[in-house]
Amino acid sequence: MQADLVIRALGALAQEHRLAAFRLLVQAGAAGIPAGALAERIGVPPSSMSFHLAQLANAGLVTQRRESRSIIYAADYAAMNGLMAYLTENCCGGLPCEDAAACAPAKPEETVL
Partner DNA sequence: CCAATGATTCGATAAATGTTGAAATATAGA
Partner DNA sequence: TCTATATTTCAACATTTATCGAATCATTGG
Q: Which residues bind DNA (CB under 7 A)?
A: 11, 14-18, 34-37, 39, 44-55, 64, 66, 68-72
Residue of 68, 63, 62, 38 lying closest to 50 (CA atoms): 38
DSSP E strands in 6-104: the ranges are: 33-34, 62-67, 70-75
Residue 74 and residue 62 in contact, taking contact as beta carbons nearer than 8 Å: yes
Region binding a second copy by CB under 8 A among candidate stretches 35-43, 44-52, 62-70, 87-95: 87-95
Longest dimension (CA), the chain: 53
Residue 11-30 contact track with a second copy, rule CB under 8 A, x = bound: x-xxxx--xx-xx--xxxxx
CB of 66 to a second copy, least distance (A): 21
Q: In whole angstroms, how close is the CB of 98 to a second copy at the nearest point?
A: 11
Phi, psi of 69 (to 5 degrees): -85, -15
The alpha carbons of the chain give a radius of gyration, in whole angstroms, of 16
**Interface with a second copy by CB under 8 A: which residues?**
1-3, 6-7, 10-11, 13-16, 19-20, 22-23, 26-30, 77-78, 80-82, 84-93, 97, 102-106, 108, 110-113
